[in-house]
């Protein structure tokens, strides 16, 4: 296992506030926070803020504060937006 580097931390911070969309361009909301494995730095979930009505139909896992969690493995691209695969989130 490796310890997260400063580069990893900068990347993670840069994700906060990005708009989350599907491959087809449907908006899910924004990245409000990130859940990661502390020892390895592996990203586990994106915590969604300002979720849209569209994302509610997926009945995704929620945290203790009832915030929607998007599995990080569903992320297929990161740029101006975080693009997720609808097939991978269910």
What gap in Å lies between CA 86 and CA 39, rounded to an integer?
A: 29
pLDDT for 22 equals 94
CATH 2.30.30.240 fits 6-89, yes or no: yes
pLDDT for 33 equals 94
pLDDT for 3 equals 60
Which is nearest to 73 in space by CA: 17, 35, 25?
35
What gap in Å lies between CA 6 and CA 4, rounded to an integer?
A: 7
Walk along the chain (90 residues) and give the pLDDT tens digit of each residue. Answer: 456 667 766 667 788 999 999 999 999 999 999 998 888 878 899 999 999 999 988 889 999 999 999 999 999 999 999 999 999 987
Q: Can you list the alpha helix ranges (DSSP code H) found in the chain?
A: 6-15, 53-56, 86-89
């Amino acid at each position: 296992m490796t310890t997260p580097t400063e580069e990893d931390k900068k990347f993670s911070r840069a994700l906060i506030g990005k708009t989350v969309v599907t491959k087809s361009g449907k908006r899910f909301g924004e990245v409000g926070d990130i859940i990661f494995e502390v020892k390895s730095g592996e990203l586990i979930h994106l915590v969604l803020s300002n979720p849209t009505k569209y994302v509610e139909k997926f009945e995704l896992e929620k945290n203790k504060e009832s915030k929607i969690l998007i599995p990080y493995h569903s992320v297929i691209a990161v740029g101006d937006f975080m693009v997720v695969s609808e097939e991978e989130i269910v």
